[in-house]
A and B are shown apart, each in its own frame.
Chain A
Amino acid sequence: GENVEQHPSTLSVQEGDSAVIKCTYSDSASNYFPWYKQELGKRPQLIIDIRSNVGEKKDQRIAVTLNKTAKHFSLHITETQPEDSAVYFCAAAWGYQKVTFGIGTKLQVIP
């Protein structure tokens, strides 16, 4: 089955700096890579996703990159703000099959 590794487990950045979270996956058949944000006590919410036929995708201050050869994908948050503080999960799936999540990264943005 698919295995997703995520690092770092915790990340502290100063407000305004960039944050990068990295994930690797094991199943070369995976073709869908979503990222979820979970605020304390709340439900995980999809913030951005990328398909395997795309190398990069941006949405305002967040961007995801995918390297299929290396089986790596990353989340980049620029100009971080205190409201970006949360736990971020990467995930991988093939088609409509089950999604496998990483362990999560706790991001703290220091004002």
Chain B
Amino acid sequence: DARVTQTPRDKVTEMGQEVTMRCQPILGHNTVFWYRQTMKQGLELLAYFRNRAPLDDSGMPKDRFSAEMPDATLATLKIQPSEPRDSAVYFCASGGTSGTYNEQFFGPGTRLTVL
């Protein structure tokens, strides 16, 4: 049963520290999405990639957030410096474009707490 994996599952850090979250998409999927979920805003799209190229990162605060796909098996989301308002659950999702529209499979999420 192929699944998206994310690490770490939980992260507690202090304001100003760098945070790196990692995602391994399902093998063969060529689209990767990063979402942030909070009670107030719901699921917000931060960025997404197709074939490792960034297609849209308009939802991401550019001054502190960055997203990359070093290779087809790894996507990273980095926050530097982190702030308390970044506390949220960050989900990665992957999907394919082989005739299944945008069906997305979510990872378990990284719960980030910035003190």
A46-B103, A46-B104, A96-B31 given; name 20 further pairs at CB < 8 Å. Answer: A32-B101, A32-B102, A34-B103, A43-B106, A43-B108, A44-B43, A44-B106, A45-B106, A46-B105, A51-B101, A93-B101, A93-B102, A95-B101, A96-B102, A98-B48, A98-B102, A99-B104, A100-B45, A101-B45, A102-B42
A97 within 8 A of partner (CB)? yes
Interface residues on B, range: 20 to 34
Q: Check if A43 sits within 8 Å of B109, measured CB to CB.
A: yes
State the CA gap A100–B104 with chains docked (Å): 12
**Contact surface of A with B, Cβ cutoff 8 Å:** 31-32, 34, 36, 42-46, 49, 51, 89, 93, 95-104
Residue ID in chain A nearest B50 by CB atoms: A96
B interface, over-half SS: strand
| Interface pairs (5), CB distance under 8 Å | A31-B101, A42-B108, A46-B103, A49-B101, A101-B42
Contact A99 B107, CB 8 Å, known A44-B91, A89-B43, A104-B43: no
B80 within 8 A of partner (CB)? no
Q: A104 is contacted by which of B42, B55, B91 (Cβ under 8 Å)?
A: B42
Chain A nearest CB, measured from B34 CB (Å): 11
**Contact surface of B with A, Cβ cutoff 8 Å:** 31, 33, 42-43, 45, 48, 50, 55-56, 91, 97, 101-109
Chain A nearest CB, measured from B101 CB (Å): 4
Q: Check if B101 sits within 8 Å of A98, measured CB to CB.
A: no
Query: Which of chain A's residues have a CB closer than 8 A to the CB of B104?
Result: 34, 46, 99
Q: Check if A97 sits within 8 Å of B108, measured CB to CB.
A: no
Query: Which of chain B's residues have a CB closer than 8 A to the CB of A101?
Result: 42-43, 45
Residue ID in chain A nearest B47 by CB atoms: A98
State the CA gap A103–B91 with chains docked (Å): 16
Query: Which of chain A's residues have a CB closer than 8 A to the CB of B97?
Result: 96
Chain B nearest CB, measured from A99 CB (Å): 5
Query: Which of chain B's residues have a CB closer than 8 A to the CB of A102?
Result: 42
